[in-house]
Amino acid sequence: MKESNPVTEPIGQNLIKIISNLCFSVFVFSVLIFTVIAITYQPPDPWLESAPALTKLFTESENATFQNDNSIIKTGEDLQSVLPPAAVRAIPITEAVIEKKEEQIANSTPPSACRELNLVNCSDPRVLIAVEKFNLKAFKSIAFFEYQTPVNGSKPNECDVAWKFRNKKEKSWRKYRDFRRFKLSIGDDCTYKVVHPGGWHSGINARRPRNKVNATRSGVTGKAKVVPQVRDDEINDTIPSLGSEMNFRKGRYLYYSRGGDYCKGMNHYLWSFLCGLGEAMYLNRTFVMDLSLCLSASYSSSGKDEEGKDFRYYFDFEHLKEVASIVEEGEFLGDWKKWDKSHRRKVPVKKVVSHKVTPMQLKKDKSTIIWRQFDAPEPENYWYRVCEGQAAKYIQRPWHAVWKSKRLMNIVSAISGWMDWDFDAVHVIRGEKAQNKELWPHLDSDTSPDALLTKLQGMIQPWRNFYIATNEPFYNYFDKLRSNYKVHLLDDYKELWGNTSEWYNETSLLNNGKPVEFDGYMRVAVDTEVFYRGKIRVETFYNLTSDCKDGVNTC
């Protein structure tokens, strides 16, 4: 009988034990890693980058803010995904709707009436049908609403027609106005036909009457009146009032004192503002809002920070009031002072001096006012610090609440309308990036006029309307492109914000009658939205240059 090897057996058993322990250790380590990821993972914020990436971008830069390059800037209406309430949704006019109207007219019109028709009658319903048909065929990117009854133009065969519309690419539910003059003819079957359409806002007889208003209707208390008091009737950015003292006492407020975010870039402002508004929503409180902004030097013509700018110059205050519970800071402080002055018992206030006190810790607080104070040195005094860490899992920034100003969007619609909504667009980034050869070695040469013409000829058909959104300061820089395209630049439309424009009148009204500068941020906002409406859109990075958007080796 063969003897077993006394050495071999222990070695085999030990080897099996070692492999088992190793596998178990790998399993435990994998579970640990998965658990850590599951705990620390935060879903992406509905913005251009994730919340951790934006926070890193803030804190790593010298002044903990965005490095502005006048690039395309998005706001809530560009990211809108939630349908509006049924009460404000409007159904656009379609071919089926027009056909039904035609059938009703045909059934109600005797044959003899057709033989007597020899002159264009603008009040005839068939005139409006002819215009509606033409618009649907000519402007396929536009949704049409609420036509007004046509009125006489300047000649017997002309009619002026007004309507409301929305670009189909716009994700908000705002509507805009156009009014055009149409030359019409009458066919043998007595139907009207559009012979020649007028351009944007050519039908001046169909323009609505200009309603004059006084300054108090717009939430302005100043007495200066240096411009006609005219406003867009569809804009309601009056400051809401709390009403009686009892209404104030019954409310629950979240009040943020001014912090280090003041005078930072507009992206930084939005990131912080929406943190505060998001916390107010989480706490089910009214957010106390300072309408006075400080425009960063990067957007001002003076090259310095400019205080005293109104939130309503840049953003849609009416929409914000509709979707969030807010109160203007001046109204709030005034009512607070009145209450404390006329009552022995003061308003209960919870003062919070550190951003490290989380929204979750304040959830059950019963104080009328939670007052966050940001007195620490930068960057500890930034509003957005409240929404970092564990709070990021509870606070949802309400991006849908911030839209661009309707006044700026009226300018966007006018520029697009002048090009009959049929144009292509390019976004050309130059400025400081083009001068920085270390980070963007080819950007300057790749966006030179010769290089642009060569590259665009393969993308854009010749003699198209061609809009250039750019931060290039020299107006004639793109003249070489005019040999192939109908070039349009923002400065071609200065009259839209000049001293005879509606925008000038309406913003002056908000500013106690003093003129408001059409500043750098407004230019970027308008450039952005016109660019978005182009049929073909060409970007600097990805299309015109091989340089990386954020510098060398960041692609």
Place of tokens 């208390």: 221
Choose between 149 and 250: higher pLDDT: 149
Cβ–Cβ under 8 Å, residues 485 and 464 = yes
Domain match, 282 and 353 both: yes
Choose between 217 and 121: higher pLDDT: 121
Mean pLDDT of 514-542: 95
Domain match, 63 and 189 both: no
In order, the DSSP letters of 195-225 are EEE--TT--GGGSPPPPB--GGGGT------
Domain match, 283 and 343 both: yes
Domain match, 396 and 247 both: yes
Neighbour-count burial of 462, counting CB atoms closer than 10 A to its CB (0-12 exposed, 13-18 middle, 19+ buried): exposed
Last residue of a domain, one of 356, 374, 401: 401
Of all residues in the chain, the percent with pLDDT exceeding 90 is 66
Domain match, 486 and 509 both: yes
Q: Is residue 550 part of a domain?
A: no
Measured between alpha carbons, how far is 114 from 462 in angstroms, rounded to an integer? Answer: 45
Number of domains, the chain: 3
Domain match, 489 and 354 both: no
Last residue of a domain, one of 361, 385, 401: 401
Domain match, 411 and 397 both: no
Domain match, 106 and 193 both: yes
Domain match, 127 and 149 both: yes
Domain match, 276 and 136 both: no
What is the structure's pLDDT at 104? 86
Interval 21-45: pLDDT, tens: 777 676 766 766 655 554 444 433 3
Q: Is residue 224 part of a domain?
A: no
Cβ–Cβ under 8 Å, residues 170 and 403 = no
Q: Is residue 348 part of a domain?
A: yes
What is the structure's pLDDT at 241? 80
Interval 323-363: pLDDT, tens: 999 999 999 999 999 988 888 888 999 999 999 999 999 99
Q: Is residue 38 part of a domain?
A: no
User: What residues make up the domain containing 379?
Assistant: 53-77+238-401
Q: Is residue 456 part of a domain?
A: yes
Interval 251-288: pLDDT, tens: 999 999 999 999 999 999 999 999 999 999 999 999 99
Domain match, 255 and 368 both: yes
Q: Is residue 267 part of a domain?
A: yes
Sequence-distant (6+) residues with CB within 8 A of 50 are: 42, 44
Last residue of a domain, one of 401, 434, 459: 401
Q: For residue 313, name the pLDDT band (cuts at 50, 70, 90).
A: very high
Q: Is residue 305 part of a domain?
A: yes
Measured between alpha carbons, how far is 324 from 287 in angstroms, rounded to an integer? Answer: 8
Q: For residue 242, name the pLDDT band (cuts at 50, 70, 90).
A: confident
Domain match, 412 and 457 both: yes
Q: Is residue 43 part of a domain?
A: no
Q: How far is CA 212 from CA 56, 204, 217, 221, in A?
A: 49, 18, 11, 16
